[in-house]
Amino acid sequence: MATVTQSDTPATPPRPTPGVAALPVANRGLLTFGVMLATIMQILDTTIANVALPHMTTQLGASADTITWVLTSYIVAVAIAIPITGWLSDTIGSRNLFLLSTIGFIIASALCGMAQNLEQMVIFRVLQGVSAAFMNPLSQTVMLDINPPERQAKAMAIWGMGIMVGPILGPVIGGWLTDNFNWRWVFFVNLPLGVICIAILWWLLPSRPIRKRRFDLFGFALLAIGIAALQLMLDRGQGEDWFGSIEIWIEMLVAGIALWMFVVHMATGKEPMFERALWRNGNLVTGLFFMIVIGVVMMATMALLPPMLQNLYGHSVFDTGLLLMPRGFGVVLTMAISAQLIQRGFDARIIVGLGMAIAAYSLWQMTHWSLEMGTWPIILSGFVQGLGMGLVFMPLNGMAFATLAPQQRTEGASLINLARNIGSSVGISLVTTILARSIQQSHAALVPNISAETLDTLDPNLAQMLGSTGQTVLAMADAEINRQAAMIGYLNDFYAMAIVTALTVPLVFFLRKPKGRAEKPDASAMGH
């Protein structure tokens, strides 16, 4: 088979044919169900294990610091493996890679559920992460390939619902399984779902043509080292006092040097890891910036709200999940609406800009929260944020992929998923740092206000004279100061995310309408 080089790949996609999918299938509905089951199953595992960490600590013989490697190992493995999705898909076939990654994910999930110590758990989570890395880009590519052009907006809406709602449902399902069964069922639940998924994919999943091309080992090594160092720096930065630690300096330097060399290699290499035509695609590059922000807003918010709702407002794990669910309802609603608007020829750039503005407004709403409020502001702001994210996600993917040639879709999808993962890591790291620093500063600013002169009902000198009872009074006062300081820290995070989100709205001017859009299909085509 002839080797396909970059010069063989057109820079612009051919004109799509109405009513004709790139890879027609006999039962598109059932295959869509199987693909989405794999997608949701994989995306759930990014958050489903979070609530079970305290229960794992004792049984795995881990400490509060080391147990976080259960999450970190998975995130790092996904980030490193995602970039080679396109090359593997071309080399062994997209069908084979999808099936192998799904089977590997199920086996790794079972091994995670049977892990007896932290070392085993980390190894199995790495295997699970490597398998999961290929599932998202491939599922997105399949949804585009099996649908004709006029149905691709709706297909991306369905796929986006799974991506956006999955992280929201994760803590709810994880909390319920942990409370009613055991933390191991957080992983075992993937087994029955995986068997159904594999059966459907084995029966119906088509494959793209295999096209052999050289593996850019040097480029992959640079990218893997850079991403791994960046992920470690972001994950361990707060615990190691950031740049007060030699380790963080080393990880930053390694990440910076490796990623810079990767950029130079992409620009000058003979056969680089990613086709240079991808980087010349303005919609894709702009979409990557948007995806980083979406990762920050979606995952950083999901990292902040559960501990906030549980520790400051006293909600249970399950109730916290229920309070976060309206965000998912908002996503589903506006994704369906945006798909209809796109099909009717509405300018996708306006939809994306409106969605980002709504998301920024929801974060501004959250800056007005207080410790005395009820649950309604939480529900309302979450629903509004879901409305915004739903408007952004589907049109943005549509514009990016509409300007890519079909053979470039898998690599484009891997880049988009990588950008979202990096955005999530950066966002979680930033909000965690802002929260910790704000709590320290606010606590220091509030303590001097607790004195006999400012509070008639609490005299610290009298409290000390009362012995143990007085110490209890002081402890209660300190706990309240901590609550108030923590609330200030969360509000500062919401301010920061609102500003970042608002600043991305002008990026819509860098997007362009895809050329050569297909005409509206006839009735026979729509009935396909």
CB contact at 8 A, 85 and 413: yes
| Rounded mean pLDDT, 502-523 | 64
Give the C-alpha separation, 272 to 25, whole Å.
33
More confident of the two residues 419 and 153: 419
pLDDT at 474: 61
Give dist(CA 175, CA 441) in Å, integer: 33
pLDDT given for residue 65 in this prediction = 61
CA dihedral 100, 106, 108, 109 (to 10 degrees): 160
Task: Find all residues with CB under 8 Å of 220, minimum gap 6, and list them.
Answer: 83, 84, 273
Poorest-pLDDT segment among 92-96, 121-125, 170-174: 170-174
Close Cβ partners of 468 (under 8 Å, ≥ 6 residues apart)? none
pLDDT at 11 over 60: no
User: What digits encode the pLDDT tens for the residues 347-405?
Assistant: 888 888 899 899 999 999 999 998 888 889 999 999 999 899 888 877 877 777 777 77
Distance CA 392, CA 405 (A): 22
Question: Whole-angstrom Cα distance, residue 64 to residue 203?
Answer: 44
Of 293, 278, 38, the C-alpha closest to 159 is 38
Measured distance CA(73)–CA(65) in Å, rounded = 14
Least confident of 221-225, 263-267, 338-342: 338-342
* Burial class of residue 450 (count of CB atoms within 10 Å of its CB; 0-12, 13-18, 19+): middle
Is the predicted pLDDT of residue 517 greater than 50, yes or no?
A: no
pLDDT confidence of residue 376: 92
Second CATH level (architecture) for the domain 23-209: Up-down Bundle (1.20)
Rounded distance between C-alpha atoms, residue 219 and residue 266, angstroms: 8
Chain mean position to CA 1: 37
Q: What is the mean pLDDT of the chain?
A: 79
| Segment 46-69 mean pLDDT | 72
Q: Which two tokens stand for residue 425?
A: 């890591």
| pLDDT score, position 520 | 39
pLDDT at 367: 92
Which tops the pLDDT comparison, 395 or 450? 395
Query: What's the whole-number mean pLDDT along residues 286-309?
Result: 79
Q: What is the pLDDT of residue 472?
A: 65
Confidence (pLDDT) at 451: 56
At 61-72, the pLDDT tens digits run 777 667 767 777
Q: Say how far apart CA 460 and CA 466 lie, in whole Å.
A: 10
- The predicted structure's pLDDT at residue 16: 57
Note whether 71 and 47 are within 8 A (CB).
Answer: no
Q: Which residue has the higher pLDDT, 437 or 354?
A: 354
**What pTM value is reported for the model?**
0.73
What does the chain come to in residues?
A: 528
pLDDT for the residue numbered 528: 34
Residue 363: is it exposed, middle or buried by C-beta count within 10 angstroms (0-12/13-18/19+)?
buried
Q: Please report the beta strands in 449-525, taking only residues with DSSP state E, as ranges in sequence order.
A: none
Does the pLDDT value for residue 524 go beyond 80? Answer: no
Please, are residues 174 and 50 in contact by the beta-carbon 8 Å criterion? yes
Q: How many of the other CB atoms lie within 10 Å of CB of 276?
A: 13
Answer yes or no: is pLDDT of 86 > 80. Answer: yes
Instruction: Choose among 391, 394, 413, 354: nearest CA to 151.
Output: 394
Q: Which of 83-97, 244-258, 310-324, 463-477 has the lowest mean pLDDT?
A: 463-477
Q: Could you give the CA distance from residue 127 to residue 76 in angstroms, rounded to a whole number?
A: 11
State how far the Cα of 304 lies from the Cα of 434, in Å rounded to an integer: 11
Distance CA 106, CA 194 (A): 6
Output Rg (C-alpha) for the chain, integer angstroms. Answer: 24
- Tell me how crowded residue 212 is: count the other CB atoms within 10 A of its CB: 10
The pLDDT-based confidence of 408 (bands split at 50, 70, 90) is: confident
The larger pLDDT score, comparing residue 299 to residue 94, is at 94
Q: List Cα–Cα distances, 464 to 46, 269, 482, in angstroms.
A: 48, 72, 20
| Band of residue 469 on the pLDDT scale cut at 50, 70, 90 | low
pLDDT, position 110 = 93
Under DSSP, the state recorded for 408 is G
Q: Is residue 478 over pLDDT 50?
A: yes
Nearest of 393, 406, 394, 348 to residue 142 by alpha carbon: 406
Predicted local distance difference test score (pLDDT) of residue 80: 83
The structure tokens 């068997």 sit at: 195
Per-residue pLDDT tens digits for 317-345 = 778 778 888 888 888 888 888 878 877 77
DSSP string, 176-232: HHHHHT-TTHHHHTHHHHHHHHHHHHHHH---PPP------HHHHHHHHHHHHHHHH
Check residues 409 and 390 and name the one with the higher pLDDT: 390
Topology, domain 293-516: Growth Hormone; Chain: A; (1.20.1250)
pLDDT in tens, 97-127: 999 999 999 999 999 989 888 888 889 999 9
State pLDDT tens for residues 142-151: 888 888 877 8
Q: Is the dihedral of CA 334, 335, 336, 341 positive or negative?
A: positive
Give the start-to-end residue ranges of the domains of the chain. Answer: 23-209, 293-516
d(CA 444, CA 90): 58
pLDDT at 527: 35
